A and B are shown apart, each in its own frame.
Chain A
Amino acid sequence: MTRILIVEDYKDLSEFYQEFLEEDTLFTASDGEEAVELYKQNRPDIVLMDLKLPKKSGIDATKDILKIDPKAKIIAITAYGSTIGSKALEAGAKEVLRKPVRFNELKDIIEKYKSI
């Protein structure tokens, strides 16, 4: 079973991801600091990282997680286009998805990182 950390401050969207990924082992964080802490404790296989987050941004959380584990598979998700998306890639996110994410796109990307 794949272990996935969902980092999303908008509760309703986080619930959607949780329902969608219910067959996996899930950890959920609603801000960047919590995301880093949960990563440290649980070492999930995949991280779904929203970029605009309270306390610590998704970009900084990505950087911190990669300091803990340079091989972390972080998929950034943003509603703010490629300017912020490019910063996530520079920070070391594997890919950036733009909101609203399409269902099959999310499914494919999760399956892809489960296979690598």
Chain B
Amino acid sequence: MVSKNQEKAFDVLWDNTTYKAITNFRQGKYNEAAELAKFSIDIAKKAYGKDSTKVAISMNNLSLVYEVQGKLLEAEELSIKALAIWEKALGPDDPDVATYLNNLAGIYVSRGKYKDAEPLYKRSLEIKQKALGPNHIEIATSYNNLAELYRLEKRYNEAEALYQKSLEIFKHNKDNKNPNIASTYNNLAEIYKIKGQYNEALSLHKMAFEIWKNTLGSDHPDIATAINNIAGIYYLEGNYSEAEKLYKEVLKIDEKTYGKNHHYTAMTYNNIALVKEGLGQYDDAERYFKEAIQISQNTLGETHPCLVTFVNNLAGLYRAREKYQDAEFFFKKGLIILEKAFGSEHPDVAMAMLNLAEMYETNGRIEEAKKLSEGARNIYKKALKRN
């Protein structure tokens, strides 16, 4: 039995711990946030019982941290439990149920379970419309989430229409500085990018960046994503100098946030290398690709599939510069990684073999090319049937 004084002490402890967990999460300090969220679940269970809404809140917070950390199964499990507690305690139409539905749907999206996510987002939207009216800011966020799902499902026109609806609500509320409007700008920009409307995409990405910079601060990891998106458009437009400048800013934030030995940092090194290659600065490109490979090997191991992109990019650079031995070495390395990661009967393995075979044939190594090509054919005939 918990006394009244103890209960008060628990209230303060739970409030403080939860607040700190949320603060750390917002600052991108995910390990600290996870530990604090776990602690707040323990406090809530002990003080209020395992089915209390405070347990649900803390579980939901931890699931959000896990989602960002890529621990999706754990995130899903916690989110389902949190939703069940909340629905049982406050009924299926409680406005907060909408938030829990939304969070679970987000995890389903991260897991690629799009069909499971759609009804949850729609139910969340209906609850919010009923509780808050059609023009509440929360409705804009819901439209944005559903639109994001449609974008991932390649239902681009439906997605665009919902992003526009979301923006109309933000404008209706004269809420031009909300970080969520920045998300909508960013996501709509991605649709324009897909459609090749780069000017519109660039303008929206820049608007998103300004809002995030003012609300999150210039060192937040999301700022790096925003800059990265702008740089990506410059890269697609062939404006390599501008892209390079921005990718280097991303690199500074990555190194500050995650340290040099992190996969995100490796990806940025790779992006800078691509830009350097586009600028014809081949030695620099080579150096940056090698750095990306080295970091990835350190952080993900020698045979992680993420390494393949960097290895093949370097091989492509060597091939373009007619350094065929180096190209062969790295294309083979890519092939070995794919075999180890996915097994020797995966279509990616066949593609890598065909690519190497094509280079052999171009270089007059006809027999080797033929042998590899036959091997590839045997693999993809089986693999494509399976897929």
| Residues of chain A having any CB pair with chain B under 8 Å | 10, 12-13, 15-16, 19-20, 78-86, 89-90, 94, 98-103, 111-112, 114-116
The residues of B that contact A100 with a CB separation of less than 8 Å are 312, 331, 334, 348, 351-352, 354-356
The residues of A that contact B154 with a CB separation of less than 8 Å are 111-112, 114-115
Contact B376 A80 (CB under 8 A): no
- The smallest C-beta distance from A30 to any residue of chain B, in angstroms, reads 13
Contact A115 B156 (CB under 8 A): yes
Contact B351 A10 (CB under 8 A): no
A12 to B381 Cα, complex, angstroms: 12
| Residues of chain B having any CB pair with chain A under 8 Å | 154-156, 194-196, 236-238, 240, 274-275, 277-278, 280, 308, 312-313, 316-317, 319-320, 331, 334, 346-348, 350-352, 354-359, 361, 373, 376-377, 380-381, 384, 387
Contact B280 A12 (CB under 8 A): no
Contact B354 A13 (CB under 8 A): yes
The residues of A that contact B387 with a CB separation of less than 8 Å are 103
- Knowing A10-B358, A86-B238, A102-B348, the reply to whether A80 touches B319 (Cβ < 8 A) is yes
The residues of A that contact B384 with a CB separation of less than 8 Å are 19-20
Contact B316 A98 (CB under 8 A): yes
Which one of B194, B308, B359, B373 lies within 8 Å of A112 (CB-CB)? B194
Interface centre among A83, A84, A111, A114 (most CB of B within 10 A): A83
- The smallest C-beta distance from A10 to any residue of chain B, in angstroms, reads 4
- Knowing A16-B350, A112-B154, the reply to whether A80 touches B316 (Cβ < 8 A) is yes
A52 to B183 Cα, complex, angstroms: 40
The residues of B that contact A80 with a CB separation of less than 8 Å are 316, 319-320
The residues of A that contact B357 with a CB separation of less than 8 Å are 10, 12
- The smallest C-beta distance from B383 to any residue of chain A, in angstroms, reads 8
Contact B380 A16 (CB under 8 A): yes
Name 23 interchain pairs, CB-CB below 8 A, sorted by A: A13-B358, A15-B377, A16-B350, A16-B380, A20-B347, A79-B358, A79-B359, A81-B313, A81-B316, A94-B196, A98-B312, A98-B313, A99-B358, A100-B312, A100-B348, A100-B352, A100-B354, A102-B308, A102-B351, A103-B346, A111-B154, A114-B154, A116-B194
A99 to B315 Cα, complex, angstroms: 10
Contact B355 A90 (CB under 8 A): no
Secondary structure dominating the interface of B: helix
Contact B351 A82 (CB under 8 A): no
Q: Which residue on chain A has the smallest CB distance to residue B316?
A: A81
Which one of B194, B280, B313, B350 lies within 8 Å of A83 (CB-CB)? B280
Contact A89 B236 (CB under 8 A): yes
Contact B354 A16 (CB under 8 A): yes
Contact A82 B355 (CB under 8 A): no
Which one of B274, B356, B359 lies within 8 Å of A82 (CB-CB)? B274
- The smallest C-beta distance from B145 to any residue of chain A, in angstroms, reads 20
Contact A12 B354 (CB under 8 A): yes
Contact A81 B320 (CB under 8 A): yes
> A12-B358, A16-B350, A16-B351 given. 14 additional CB < 8 A pairs?
A12-B377, A19-B384, A79-B358, A80-B320, A82-B277, A83-B278, A89-B237, A99-B316, A99-B351, A100-B334, A100-B348, A100-B352, A103-B348, A103-B351
Interface centre among A10, A78, A84, A99 (most CB of B within 10 A): A99
Contact B354 A89 (CB under 8 A): no
The residues of B that contact A94 with a CB separation of less than 8 Å are 196
A28 to B124 Cα, complex, angstroms: 48
Question: 6 closest A-B pairs (Cβ-Cβ)?
Answer: A100-B355, A103-B347, A80-B320, A81-B316, A115-B154, A12-B373
Contact A99 B376 (CB under 8 A): no
Q: Which residue on chain A has the smallest CB distance to residue B154?
A: A115
Contact A99 B355 (CB under 8 A): yes
The residues of B that contact A12 with a CB separation of less than 8 Å are 354, 357-358, 373, 376-377
A103 to B312 Cα, complex, angstroms: 14
A85 to B316 Cα, complex, angstroms: 11
The residues of A that contact B237 with a CB separation of less than 8 Å are 89
